[in-house]
Amino acid sequence: MTTPAMFPAWPGDAEVAVALTFDVDGEAPWIGEGPQNERRLTLLSQGRYGPVRGLGRILDLLAELDIQATFYVPGHTADHQPEAMTAILAGGHEVAHHGYLHLDTENLDADGQRGELEAGLAALARHGVRPAGYRSPGWELTPETLAMLAGLGFTYDSSLMADDRPYWEISGTEPLLELPGHWSLCDWPYFGWTPYHGGLLADPARVERIWLEEYESARREHRAITYTMHPEAIGRGYLLRMLRRVITGMLDRGRPWFATHAQIAALAAAPAETAASPASARPS
């Protein structure tokens, strides 16, 4: 069962809340696939490009434009690329949970899923981070993990897609705020490519149009919108130039509030109040 979340007016008389989010996967997804990948140095290095090279470009752009973002960091990345965590936190950004070894939750039993959650929490805690939010690796969430999140102290999730507005996911005893993304607003289906995981290597001008069209829809509906990116993809030089054009295009078209997921979640009215309110994301 789901219920749209209610919000007051966005801060600063903004028309739309924009969450730029980055999944700093690094080598974790490839190592997590199994030991056959341990000898595949090119594949692993392609993942390592994210925290080692792409991330710095992203952080520089965000600092230049004075934008705070949310970084979903697998515990493995936090443990093996600690300087990436340090740089993200030094920029004043939010760090959220993205598994430990980026294991597909649907292929783990309940104990395995809890292990991923707890190991990820421990790794982030070594950097002083207590994450408020969770995004499932590979964007597949199971009933078992969903049921564990509130009990482990998470206040929001960003894995499900039942609405394009924030909503309350009520699947057990405790409602959880969902901040939905979508594959069309993610860089990976367009630009993420390896010899074994084929993407499109799409024309960035096309993606720029899609992302700005969805922004325009969100602006007119006064809703929150989430973009999902990966430093190993969006962190390529030509794609960072696209991201800059997307952000400046947003600023040219209206008044966005660039916010972290935690900032948006903090504004959501409690679900009991939501249930008593009209079923719209926000009065416009």
Rounded least distance, CB 166 to Zn ion, Å? 21
Binders in 9-68 for Zn ion, by CB under 5 A: 23, 25
CA-based nearest residue to 104, from 78, 60, 136: 136
Distance CA 232, CA 12 (A): 33
**3-state secondary structure at position 211:** helix
Rounded least distance, CB 139 to Zn ion, Å? 8
How far are the Cα atoms of 126, 135, 159, 212, 259 from residue 208, in angstroms, in the given order?
Answer: 37, 24, 23, 6, 20
Residue 279: CB atoms within 10 A of its CB come to 10
- C-beta separation of 101 from 76 below 8 A: yes
- C-beta separation of 81 from 51 below 8 A: yes
Contacts of 11 (CB under 8 A, 6+ apart): 257, 259
Rounded least distance, CB 18 to Zn ion, Å? 20
**224-255: b (≥16 Cβ within 10 Å) or e:** bbbbbbbbbbbbbeebbebbebbbeebeeeee
Of the two residues 25 and 157, which places its CB atom closer to Zn ion in the complex? 25
Of the two residues 2 and 194, which places its CB atom closer to Zn ion in the complex? 194
Rounded least distance, CB 15 to Zn ion, Å? 30
Of the two residues 23 and 169, which places its CB atom closer to Zn ion in the complex? 23
CA-based nearest residue to 4, from 281, 277, 270, 225: 281
Rounded least distance, CB 119 to Zn ion, Å? 15
Of the two residues 135 and 165, which places its CB atom closer to Zn ion in the complex? 135
Rounded least distance, CB 28 to Zn ion, Å? 8
Using CB under 5 A as the binding criterion, the count of chain residues that bind Zn ion stands at 2
Of the two residues 28 and 177, which places its CB atom closer to Zn ion in the complex? 28
Question: Under the criterion CB under 5 A, does residue 187 sit at the interface with Zn ion?
Answer: no
Of the two residues 193 and 221, which places its CB atom closer to Zn ion in the complex? 193
Residue at shortest CB range from Zn ion: 23
Enumerate binding residues for Zn ion (CB under 5 A): 23, 25
